[in-house]
């Protein structure tokens, strides 16, 4: 079966990226008309970053962590505290006031996002020492517990003057352009791809396949596990900061366990061990949830009120669709493979051959 050469693959990829960028520019210039689709795409891009970060840990290193919501919260609160305009902080911290050391502290968005990632990575470094010696379900339970501890600390009265406790933070400046969120997401994913393709990434994959064999080849298991965990936490923190800027207001309830499960669902849907699968899964899941909202509205046909169309029915339909996808694609949409033009070309070739066979069989039937 014929395959496309490398040059053709690059040309097709460049065309796809160019079309996507032009479409985003057009939608951004007509933001009033396309505000709703842009919001869906922005949230999808943010979730794509944390999904790829989770896949780096789960799909490429074999570590099952469920602490993503907690590390997103660290990044989100760091970015929110540093970017809320100084003159608006008395209105935000109107109950107990803001800590004196933070009253005048501010940073541009890019610096706040990096600091959010650094603080999340530092917390991941501290948590990694006790939990990374655990395996499988025990590691998942431990990281899930730490995620809830982080969320509880954020809402605790002890940190009221820092996080504003259960009142949350508002008046967070949004992105000056919707294109910034896509640029930051693309940059983060690109950096993670570089890590996965480096010698460290190959060590991560070796640990995933067989820890005993990896250790016998001289790979320091704990060091590389902690490295993967810290890198994943760093980009998860950045995605949390992006989510705070996108939402403009946050509180501790924003980062409940359900958020981690949503990210895990994206990874499983796209394919564990597939970067492009995680990106595809984030866009499909976010868009699917929004485009099925009409199921939550009452439906009247000929004066008869259809009983199933009510609030919450959308999630029933969405769950059924996900179950169907998982039944037919047990390893996710892309499995452990990556998107490739050769795969699409091979699929089109098989489709063409099948049609030719059907045409030939019909002609033979007519002759008989």
| 186 within a domain of the structure (yes/no) | yes
Do 78 and 115 form a contact (C-beta atoms < 8 A)? Answer: yes
pTM of the model: 0.88
Segment holding 300, helix H or strand E:
strand 299-301
For residue 303, the model assigns a pLDDT of: 66
Residue 14 has pLDDT above 60, yes or no: yes
Averaged pLDDT for residues 289-309: 70
Distance, CA of 267 to CA of 16 (rounded, Å): 23
pLDDT band at 164 (very low <50, low <70, confident <90, very high): confident
Distance, CA of 337 to CA of 333 (rounded, Å): 9
For residue 362, the model assigns a pLDDT of: 67
Kindly report the backbone phi and psi dihedral angles of residue 300, in degrees, each rounded to the nearest multiple of 5, phi listed first. -120, 120
Task: Return the higher-pLDDT residue of 33 and 314.
Answer: 33
| 156 within a domain of the structure (yes/no) | yes
Residue 302 has pLDDT above 80, yes or no: no
Residue 235 has pLDDT above 90, yes or no: yes
| 4 within a domain of the structure (yes/no) | no
Q: Which of 108-122, 210-224, 302-316, 346-360 has the lowest mean pLDDT?
A: 302-316
Percentage of residues in the chain with pLDDT exceeding 90? 33
For residue 338, the model assigns a pLDDT of: 80
Q: What integer best gives the mean pLDDT of the chain? A: 86
| 361 within a domain of the structure (yes/no) | no
User: Mind listing the pLDDT tens digit for each residue in 285-297?
Assistant: 888 888 877 677 7
Q: Which of 74-88, 201-215, 333-347 has the lowest mean pLDDT?
A: 333-347
For residue 172, the model assigns a pLDDT of: 92
| 112 within a domain of the structure (yes/no) | yes
Question: Domain range holding 190?
Answer: 27-255
Of residues 47, 67, 80, the one with CA closest to residue 188: 47
**Helix residue ranges per DSSP H, 271-305:** 275-291
Distance, CA of 99 to CA of 159 (rounded, Å): 9
User: Mind listing the pLDDT tens digit for each residue in 112-139?
Assistant: 999 999 999 999 999 988 888 887 778 8
pLDDT band at 355 (very low <50, low <70, confident <90, very high): confident
| 161 within a domain of the structure (yes/no) | yes
Distance, CA of 333 to CA of 326 (rounded, Å): 8
149: Cα separation from own chain's centroid:
22
Of residues 327, 209, 196, the one with CA closest to residue 268: 327
| 304 within a domain of the structure (yes/no) | no
Percentage of residues in the chain with pLDDT exceeding 70? 93
Residue 1 has pLDDT above 70, yes or no: no
For residue 215, the model assigns a pLDDT of: 87
Please give the tally of structural domains in the chain.
Answer: 1
| 331 within a domain of the structure (yes/no) | no
Averaged pLDDT for residues 321-335: 79
């Amino acid at each position: 079966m014929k395959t496309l050469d490398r040059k053709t693959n690059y040309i097709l990829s460049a065309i796809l990226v160019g079309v996507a960028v032009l479409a985003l520019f057009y939608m951004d210039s007509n933001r009033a008309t396309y505000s709703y689709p842009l919001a869906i795409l922005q949230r999808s891009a943010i979730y794509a970053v944390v999904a790829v970060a989770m896949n780096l840990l789960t799909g490429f290193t074999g570590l099952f962590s469920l602490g993503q919501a907690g590390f997103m919260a660290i990044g989100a609160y760091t970015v929110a505290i540093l970017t809320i305009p100084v003159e608006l902080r008395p209105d935000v911290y109107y109950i107990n006031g803001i800590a004196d050391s933070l009253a005048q502290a501010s940073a541009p968005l890019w610096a706040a996002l990096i600091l959010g990632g650094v603080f999340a990575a530092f917390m991941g470094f501290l948590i990694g020492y006790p939990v990374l010696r655990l395996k499988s379900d025990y590691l998942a339970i431990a990281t899930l517990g730490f995620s809830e501890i982080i969320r509880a600390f954020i809402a605790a009265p002890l940190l009221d003057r820092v996080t504003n406790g259960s009142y949350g933070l508002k008046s967070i400046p949004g992105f000056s352009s919707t294109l910034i969120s896509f640029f930051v997401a693309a940059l983060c994913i690109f950096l993670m791809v570089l890590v996965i393709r480096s010698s460290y990434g190959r060590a991560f994959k070796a640990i995933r396949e067989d820890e005993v064999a990896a250790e016998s080849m001289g790979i320091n298991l704990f060091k590389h596990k902690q490295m993967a965990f810290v890198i994943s936490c760093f980009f998860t923190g950045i995605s949390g900061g992006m989510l705070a800027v996108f939402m403009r207001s946050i509180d501790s309830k924003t980062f409940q366990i359900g958020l981690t499960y949503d990210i895990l669902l994206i990874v499983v849907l796209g394919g564990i061990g597939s970067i492009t699968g995680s990106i595809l899964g984030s866009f499909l899941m976010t868009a699917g949830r929004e485009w099925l909202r009409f199921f939550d509205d009452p439906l009247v046909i000929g004066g008869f009120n259809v009983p199933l169309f009510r609030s919450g029915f959308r999630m029933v339909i969405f769950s059924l669709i996900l179950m169907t996808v998982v039944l037919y694609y047990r390893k996710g949409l892309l499995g452990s493979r990556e998107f490739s033009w050769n795969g699409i070309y091979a699929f089109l070739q098989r489709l063409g051959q099948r049609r030719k066979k059907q045409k030939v069989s019909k002609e033979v039937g007519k002759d008989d």
